[in-house]
Amino acid sequence: MSNDCTQTGRILLGDLDLPLMRPLTIAALSRLVVEAVQTQTALYPIGGQTRSTLGRIPEKPGTAVDMTALDAVIDHPVADMTITVQAGITFGKLARILSEKGQRLPIDSIDPEKETIGGMIATNASGPRRLGHGTLRDYVLGIKYLTDGGDEAKAGGRVVKNVAGYDLCKLHTGALGTLGVITEVTLKLRPLNEARAIVFLRCFSTNLEAAADTLHNSQTRPVSVDVLNARAMIALANRGISNPDPLHTERMGWIVAVGFEENSLAVQWQVDTLCQEVAIWKPLVMEGGQEESFWQGLTSLGHSSRELNNLEQGSGYATIKATARASELSMVLTLANEIAKTGLVTGHLQNGVARIHLPGETPLENVVEMAEKLSGLALKRGGNLILESGPVAWRRSIPVWGTPRPDHEISRRIHREMDPKGTFNPGRFLPGI
């Protein structure tokens, strides 16, 4: 232990009770990597712990590393619309810095004041607005990371147009920190939008597919198209986000939320056009500047720090993610709503992603049965099933990353080359990684 690296406590990851170290410099972090390799133990990078229950159960003893002290801004050439930061910076801090220059990183965060950029890259974070803006993978221009030798390697660059061999940036994005410890990242930015709006449609299960087809053929280009069952809409209302139609929600239907972001004239034209196209579903427009709160609430639903802490006590919500072809997602949503009697069901309608947030006290045998039914339906429709968060017992009983695919073996081969001793986050990603 030294002045630039101290132990700040202990942390529970799965069944492992690990010491939590907080390095203040890259050199200190490098020493931790070298020590872990030499002692054949593991290193588990930790950010804001907003996605700490994503992945399989880690089983190799080692050290957890708090990355939040490494949060400096390295470079921000405003005219180039890029920024280079250390991986421990929180999304909220980054957003405030960018906002001062009229810029933003258009990704939805679970908890902006806690979630770190490094953690978001490791999980390829996205939210409701991924339809219009993509996922974090689309904004990573360059990274630096520590190899198993404790050396800082780099990939990509600091400009939008750069070609430098294999795209290791995309390889690290979504790898759950299993290929090295990300220390620095360069991100592509976008300007702040002038205006935003959300149009809500009242819909029942019998015409959800028809609503999806109408939206697919719309003249408008929304940044988000989300579906919420009644319980999910009530949960958001309980968090202070206005419910556009309380009477409809009480009748247990669906709410479809169509979001727009752009300049004021474009947003107004799209809202007016959509309202004409979907008049049959009696559209309502969210007013009062609550659009950002709605997207934030939907992103954090079932994933907030409080929810994750409650999971350890058998309460809170756990989240199952089901994917399918976008044209067939309504079938997955309908089945999820039928079998998840007390669950909150949401979906990114045109991205083919559905989420089922189940109470943590749901009996394990019920969860396993639901997962099997949803997995079967998702696989038939070109998708898969992922357990995004859940108690340890759930993660031991349900295939966390879904049905194995042929490309999983490619991932294992890459991992063996980049982390042959299994130092970085072992056990949490695919089997064998």
Q: Give pLDDT tens digits for 160-181.
A: 655 555 678 989 999 999 999 9
Q: How far is CA 276 from CA 243, 269, 272, 287, 403, in A?
A: 22, 11, 6, 18, 42
Higher pLDDT, 202 or 294: 294
Length of the chain, in residues: 433
pLDDT at 118: 96
Strands (E), 286-414: 317-323, 344-348, 353-359, 385-389
CA distance 128 to 116: 19
- Taking residues 87-99, report their average pLDDT: 98
Q: Alpha helix (H) ranges present in 239-358? A: 246-250, 264-277, 291-300, 305-311, 329-339
Task: Name the nearest CA neighbour of 308 among 122, 116, 67, 111.
Answer: 111
- Taking residues 31-52, report their average pLDDT: 94
Residues 6+ apart with CB under 8 A from 324: 331, 332, 352, 354, 377, 378, 381, 382, 383
Task: Name the nearest CA neighbour of 357 among 405, 394, 330, 401.
Answer: 394
* Residue 98 pLDDT class (50, 70, 90 cuts): very high
- Exposure of 360 by Cβ count < 10 A (0-12 exposed, 13-18 middle, 19+ buried)? buried
**pLDDT surpasses 80 at 121:** yes
Task: Identify the structural domains of the chain with CATH numbers, from first to last.
Answer: 1-192+404-433 (3.30.465.10), 195-237+245-287 (3.30.70.3450), 305-397 (3.30.70.2380)
pLDDT at 350: 93
Return the sign of the alpha-carbon dihedral for residues 375, 432, 413, 419: positive
- Give counts: helices (H), strands (E), the chain: 15, 19
Q: Rounded mean pLDDT of the chain?
A: 90
Tokens of 225: 């198209």
The torsion angles phi and psi of 353, rounded to 5 degrees, stand at -125, 125
pLDDT at 417: 93
**pLDDT surpasses 90 at 427:** yes
Higher pLDDT, 315 or 385: 385
pLDDT at 163: 53
pLDDT at 315: 53
Other Cβ atoms within 10 Å of 420 Cβ, number: 10
Residue with tokens 């170290």: 21
CA distance 412 to 432: 7
Q: How far is CA 359 from CA 57, 58, 102, 288, 318, in A?
A: 20, 23, 40, 32, 6
In the three-class reduction of DSSP (H, G, I as helix; E, B as strand; rest coil), residue 383 is classed as coil
pLDDT at 262: 92
On whether the CB atoms of residues 106 and 133 are closer than 8 A, the answer is yes
* Residue 252 pLDDT class (50, 70, 90 cuts): low
CA distance between the termini of the chain: 29
pLDDT at 159: 65
- Taking residues 263-270, report their average pLDDT: 95
Q: Strand 73-75 and strand 82-86: pairing?
A: antiparallel
Residue with tokens 């107004």: 268
User: What is the dihedral angle through the alpha carbons of 168, 174, 179, 184, rounded to the nearest 10 degrees?
Assistant: 70
Give the tens place of pLDDT for each residue, 289-317: 789 999 999 999 877 555 555 555 555 78
In the three-class reduction of DSSP (H, G, I as helix; E, B as strand; rest coil), residue 62 is classed as strand
Q: Alpha helix (H) ranges present in 161-200? A: 168-172
pLDDT at 257: 94
